[in-house]
Structures are given as structure tokens and as C-alpha cells.
Chain A
């Protein structure tokens, strides 16, 4: 793992020395604290080792192509730490003197890291927590990964559109499962959908062997309903529920139909080009975190070019007012002024096709339809983000 990151760093540093010396250099720091490993029943979908960093490499290559013509260059420094090594991350941040830092770590780690944040702009590329966009929001912390709330709203908009009004919610035991379930409950309430049964997943049998026996019995007890929403962020058990329910009902949320910031099945709006550039570089498909990293670096680039490389305060101002990022999602992307969240369509996709892109037609918002997804300004109560200097 470490050696891969070293290689990433090396290749980028080498390429940076080739470019003319008189150009401007934009130093970007990418700090990653690995996730604690999660035991799942299936090993079919391991997390790619280059998750996130591959998105950074593509964005730097994209930005530096523009840089060739405008005589500037992005230099990326990747610092990766083992799970829990917040001190290492703090040291890396202390040693960095640039203006732009990408944070690939949990919400708690971000809060801890930003205790003494200064004028630097930070970009959260991994944590979904709504709190991090609300009362626990941080000064100068932007978010390019969508929140649990945005993902839940996208899913619930779709349920409403399909008139799946009687919902069953099944929640896994991990903290992240509970957070997504909470977002689904809030969203269902907001849109007037009924979660008539709200159950924890309690099995500890090996579902690879017993799903066919256990799941029908478990779901038989539920009676009739329209759709089952599963909150299982690691797709630990959800994959065994599909096609095993007592009644033939769709299963969404964690397996089957998922709501994500990016999916390999997003191909319209020129996205096929981004997907193929990415897979050529990374040897795999682009995941949501890769996209969050890519779009963060593209946003910084766009703001720098449009402000003619103004200082970081002007860049922040441009990010919050005026930017139109071309993010291959069919609409210009921008940032919410009250909490720095990237406004973006959310993909509703299963493994082999894109089903819809939220916001769905008819879900209006006074400011921007994209703001029908996630925490809106009046609810955010975010104070720290906008504080300057």
C-alpha cells in the first residue's frame, strides 16, 4: 500500500520537474487516513488500493494539460497514514505551506485535524456525515462527496416518483449504517413517505450459505409493502437479500438500486470520456470517492484560472459565487454558500445501468433544483464555514 503511494508521488514529482521552470506551481496536499478494515461476508468487491488517489492523478493530468497553455502546473503531494494515525496527518498538515488540502478520512478525523485550521481551503472527499455540513461544519471545509442526506433524498425522490409509498427499512449494525438509516427516515418524512416497519438486521449466520433459508422467513413477517430500503453501507448483507424476499419487492439502498455521487454507469453528458480516461489510468472503474477527488481538484483549477491565480480568499469567493464546474453530470456544478457542499446531481444506479439522476423532474426548489437534495440553508445552522481570517 505504502509503496504504491510512494510511486504515485514520485511519478507526479518527476513529471513536475519536466515542465518549464518559470511557470506557476500550485501545491496541493492530499491527506489520507485509511479506513479501519471492515469485515464483510463477501469478498467480491474489495476496496481498490488506489481509491481516491487515482482520481487525484487524473485531475492533476487534466489540470496540467490546461497548464501547458497557461504556464502553470499542479504539484500533488499524497500523504497516506494507517487507520487512526491522526498525529501523522497533523504533522503532514503542519509541514505543508500551500493553500489547498484534500481530506480523505472520517468526519471525526477531519474535525480533529482542522482544530487549528488557517486560511487553507480544505476539501472533504470521503465523509458523508450531515453533521459535518451543519452544526459541526468547519471553517473553510468544502465537501465534494455528497452527504447521507443528499443520497437519501435522491433515493426517496425516486421512491415517491415510483409511488413506492409503503417502505420497510432494514438497518445494519455499524455506525455508518445507522447514519444513512437516519437520513432515510428524515427524507421519507420530508417527502411524506411512510416507513411502516423499521428493523435492525440481526442475523449473524453466514448468509453466503443461509440466505435462501433465513431471508424469506425474515421478510415473510413483514407482510406487504412496496419497497425495502436497506442501510448497509458496506453491502455486507444487503447483497443476500435481493431475490430472497418472501414477496417479490424491490430492494434498494445498499445493493440493487443505490444512490451515489458517481457510478460506472454514468455515461451521458460526456461522462463516457471521463470514465474511459479514468479506467485507462487506473485499470479499474471510477468510484464515488475518486470522482469527489477529481471534481475537487478540477474546481480548484477552474477557480484559479478564472480568477487569474488570485489569492486564496478570492478563490474561495469564486468557488462560492460564480463557478460553473463541468462535472459530466448534465448540469453546471457549484458550491452551497452556507456550508461549502458541492451542489450535484446524484446517480441512482444499479450495477449495470443508470436508472435516474436526481433531482428528479418535479422536485423544485426556490433557488436551484439541486438544493432539493440534502440539508437546506435554514436547517444547516452552520456557522464556522463562512468565517474568514
Chain B
């Protein structure tokens, strides 16, 4: 019994909840221990890693290695790259279908969305979208995939049954990220150059709200929304504002901005801790990750990672 307890404690300290971060300019992935807020490991990956996401069981990490023109599959337990998936050119960002099998990948240089089967490692199809596709999402029920194209300024709605676009919505300039509410009723998209976030009703693709941001002392041109994340009960949206170096906290009941949290320079994306108590932001220019305590929305630590951290994903204790 004693022995067993010791064993459990040990494994607990070895496998804490973690935040994994892709470092675009060091070609690595850094792993942050959420309890100690320290970097515990850094793994070499392909060139210019950006989007990262875990398989549903957190056993595999998928990595968009943009300049290697590959999506890499890493064994999350060992950090070993197992194999590459055919991804199309310059994969930037992707979303995993709830079936845990199909990856919807934005190929930024090619104006296509590539659908890859992670089991057979085959391309299922490629869908023509606008110029510079980036933001990717799949609805919680798996029926709709989203691609935003940055230069075409559109949100493309893809029917996953037919893998065809069934609607296109124009949004403000340079849409970069798409995020579903947990019940799938709303879609949030950010427009970097337009400086806004648009919320859609997914039942008819109509626009429900457009959110704009204003930070004292920051020129409006520098308020450039990229990452959007919704908290556990969808009551708050967190919007990373790029070179404005702040994250906006939005009340989702009336779409008002409640406050701005100061983080590092050039904030891109975010991930929640698995218990939803903390938020981690990747700050590209300052090369660090800001940990934020969500009980009071205060930054508690900035954690140095590799060069130009970009994507972030949480991995709970197995």
C-alpha cells in the first residue's frame, strides 16, 4: 500500500498538467508544467511549427510544420516524431474533427483546405477556398468545418458530409481564427487588420455581433485580434490582440469588453489549463508565454520559451 502511494505520487509529479507551445522560429515545441510554471522539455520538430493540437486521448500531438510542408505526428509521451501526414503545402493551422480521425488543414500558400485521414494517412480531399486560408474549426457535432481566408476576407462554411462549401460570409480584413461555442450555436471569428471579432449564428450564418476593442494608450491600428478562446461555460471570450500586447475579456451575454489583460509582445494564441483555472498566451515577439490566473484575470508569470512562440495546446495528467 505504502509503495503504491509513493508510486502514485511520483507519477503525479512527473505527469502534471501541461501546456505545449510551438516555437515558430526555433523549430521546437516547449512543454510547460502548469504546477511549477517551468519549461520541462523542448522537442525538435519540423520547420516553422505553428498550429498544434492533441488527439482526443492526448497520446499524439499533431504539428503544422509549415515550412516542411508536413503535419507531423509526435508521440506525446516520448516526444518522438512518429511520422508525417500528407498535408498539402504550407500547413498553418488545423482542426481535428470530433471523430478524432479527420484533420482539416489550412494550406496557406495554396488557397486550399486539405482533409487528411490520420489513420490511413491519406488525403481525403482538397477544397478550394480563398487566398491564405488560416482559421480552422469544426463544429462540435462534426457537421460543419470552417476555414477563414485572410486575403479574401471570408469565412467559408464547409459541409463535412460532402466536403463542399455551402456558404461564404464576408468579414472584416484578415480573418485569422475561428472558434465554436461548446453547444455549436455560435461561431467566433477574429479579423486582424479590421480590428474586430464577429460572432455568427451558426443556424443561418447570420451575424449576431461585431466586437471592437479600444485600449487606452494603444493606437487603434495596433489592436489586431488573432486568437479567440471561450472559457468552460462559454460565459467569457478571451481575445488575443496581437501587437496591442493585451488580451480582451468579453462578456458573451452582451458582447461587451470587460477588461484588458497586459501580456507579452505580439500575443498570438491561447490555451486553458485542463481545469480551466489558468490561461496561457503565446507572445511571439517577446518569446515567452504569459500565465494568467482566471480567478482575478491577473498575469502571474511570464515563462521564457523558444523563438517566436505561436500555437498552444493543453495536455491533462494522463
Contacts and interface: CB of A to CB of B under 8 A. Distances in A.
A277 interface: yes
B179 interface: no
A108 interface: no
A68 interface: yes
7 closest residue pairs by CB, A with B: A326-B193, A66-B152, A326-B174, A326-B173, A331-B221, A69-B168, A65-B131
Interface residues of A, number: 23
A70 B243 contact: no
A334 to B, nearest CB: 10
A324 B194 contact: yes
Q: Place the interface of chain B in its size category.
A: 20 to 34
A331 B173 contact: no
Contacts of B222: 331
11 contacts: A66-B152, A69-B130, A69-B154, A270-B132, A270-B174, A273-B109, A277-B109, A325-B173, A326-B150, A332-B194, A368-B221
Interface string A61-79: 0100110111000000000
Contact of A66 (B131, B172, B219, B243): B131
A305 interface: yes
A330 interface: yes
Given A270-B132, A326-B150, 16 more contacts: A62-B152, A65-B151, A65-B152, A66-B131, A66-B154, A69-B165, A270-B174, A276-B90, A276-B109, A306-B170, A324-B173, A324-B194, A326-B153, A330-B243, A331-B193, A368-B221
Interface string A320-339: 00001110001110000000
Given A70-B168, A273-B132, A326-B173, A65 B111 contact: yes
B165 to A, nearest CB: 8
- For the residues of B in contact with A, the DSSP-based class is loop
A66 B153 contact: yes
A24 B150 CA distance: 23
B18 interface: no
Interface of A: 62, 65-66, 68-70, 270, 273, 276-277, 280, 298, 302, 305-306, 324-326, 330-332, 368-369
A167 to B, nearest CB: 29
B77 interface: no
Contacts, number: 66
B198 to A, nearest CB: 14
B235 interface: no
B33 to A, nearest CB: 31
A332 B130 contact: no
B200 to A, nearest CB: 16
Contacts of A68: 128
Interface string B38-71: 0000000000000000000000000000000000
A332 B221 contact: yes
A50 B51 CA distance: 36
B195 interface: yes
Contact of B193 (A69, A273, A324): A324
A62 B151 contact: yes
B84 interface: no
Interface string B154-173: 10100000000100101011
A368 B222 CA distance: 12
B170 A305 contact: yes
Nearest to B170: A305
Nearest to A277: B109
Contacts of B174: 270, 326
Contacts of A330: 243
